[in-house]
Amino acid sequence: MQSKRPIYLDNNATTQVDPRVLEVAIHYMREEYGNAGSRTHEYGTKAKQAVAKARRIIAEAVKATPNDVIFTSGATESNNLAILGLAPYGLKSGKKHIITSPIEHKSVLEPIEHLEKQGFEVTYLPMDETGVVKAADVRDALRDDTLLVSVMHANNETGMIQPITEVADIIEAHPALLHTDAAQTFGKLIAPLQDPRIDLISISGHKLYAPKGVGCLIARNTNRARKHLTPLVWGGGQEGGLRPGTSPVHLIAALGRSVELAEAEHHERLNQCTLIRDELILSLSKCNPIIHGKGPHRLHNTLCFALPPYDADALILALKDDISISTGSACTSHSFSLSHVLSAMCIDEQHCEMSIRVSWSHNTGIDEISNVKWNMLTNNT
């Protein structure tokens, strides 16, 4: 008899593939397995149509055009293409200034650090315990030679939502391009990403109940953003020449279906995640948690907190048979350094070491959350 598995509360790392999305992926692996680049037969035509449909669905979600959608392997590649792909234009035009925040995902920070070594200047926006960028600081940092402003839509560790609409308004009349890593918000916070001033949007399928290995960069407005991008990989004309290689039709079609479902079920999912969040905060209340990030602007499915005096690793070990959680980003779990996000928020080293992230989905049961005996478990660590 199979033992009961722990409750999965690490959805910001990856989500379970929706069965309806999986059905689409299997269909395009088993039945319609043609190459979307094959123009001479029905199999290729069906594959091409599937890619085109997904491209249209994703574009419509942010009020872009299908030609704005560049399929990639995920948000990490999309972030790299958005940042490194602009470098040649920056060098040619003399625009070598970048504005970003210190709480960005490493797939934003490390490409920017690479450009910094190549002579680009970088302004890192100030950060405090709120965990939220101030749009006024973006305004103060803008220069005539600013090439790019890159501010994530919501932080993957704290869930704090960044004022991307306000940032877009601040730079409305400035020629700088605006990029946002929307891996945690695409299909969840819909309206803000429809702002036409957001030039570049990175998304990842496996954060939205699609398989791992697919995502896209939305380069809105061909005459503004896309024309300045240079590919990172060469060897074909796919994705408008910006991302060569055979299209993974099954993954792209699955991503399109996941976006379609996210839009159709948006309100129900949001309401369910809010109920779960309220139950989690209630169940934690007796433990006197220190919750990171101030104010109401937090994703409905994320909570980052410490339960003094317990170390995060010890707490995770004590809870491992009941719940599956993490200390932060799965992309940096191989390193033992303190969270760069919490450190940037001026949280002291001791509380950084105590902090864990809990992230759920609309499929998480409220009863599962209410049955976690946080107080009892921490007393036994």
Q: Assign 3-state DSSP to the chain and report helix, strand, coil percentages, each to 5.
A: 45, 15, 40
Instruction: Give the ranges where the chain is alpha helix by DSSP (H).
Output: 19-30, 42-61, 75-84, 87-93, 106-117, 135-141, 164-170, 249-264, 266-284, 312-319, 340-344, 349-354, 366-370, 374-379
Catalytic entry in 273, 287, 304, 331: 331
Which pairing describes strands 146-150 and 97-100: parallel, antiparallel, or unpaired? parallel
| Residue 290 scores a pLDDT above 50 | yes
Residue 74 tokens, joined: 């995920």
Residue with tokens 């159709």: 264
| Residue 307 scores a pLDDT above 50 | yes
Q: What mean pLDDT do residues 191-220 have?
A: 97
Average model confidence (pLDDT) for the chain? 93
Q: What mean pLDDT do residues 194-198 have?
A: 96
Among 212, 147, 207, CA closest to 182? 207
Active site residue 331: yes
What is the dihedral angle through the alpha carbons of 319, 374, 268, 51, rounded to the nearest 10 degrees? -20
Q: Please write the tens of the pLDDT for every residue from 313-341.
A: 988 988 888 899 988 665 555 555 789 99
Q: Please write the tens of the pLDDT for every residue from 33-85.
A: 999 999 899 999 999 999 999 999 999 999 999 999 999 999 999 999 999 99
pTM for this predicted structure = 0.95
Q: What residue ranges do the domains of the chain occupy?
A: 7-17+266-379, 19-264
Q: Please write the tens of the pLDDT for every residue from 76-116.
A: 999 999 999 999 999 999 999 999 999 999 999 999 999 99
Q: Which CATH architecture has domain 7-17+266-379?
A: Alpha-Beta Complex (3.90)
pLDDT at position 375 is 62
Return d(Cα 370, Cα 280) in angstroms, integer.
7
Among 362, 347, 366, CA closest to 304? 347
Q: Residue 56's CB: how many other CB atoms inside 10 A?
A: 14
pLDDT at position 334 is 52
Return d(Cα 368, Cα 9) in angstroms, integer.
10
Return d(Cα 350, Cα 309) in angstroms, integer.
9
Q: What mean pLDDT do residues 294-299 have?
A: 85
309: preceding bond cis by omega (within 30 degrees): yes
Return d(Cα 190, Cα 68) in angstroms, integer.
17
Residue with tokens 């005539």: 144
Residue 142 tokens, joined: 């803008």
Residue 224: pLDDT band with limits 50, 70, 90: confident
Q: Which CATH architecture has domain 19-264?
A: 3-Layer(aba) Sandwich (3.40)
pLDDT at position 229 is 96
Q: What mean pLDDT do residues 229-248 have?
A: 94
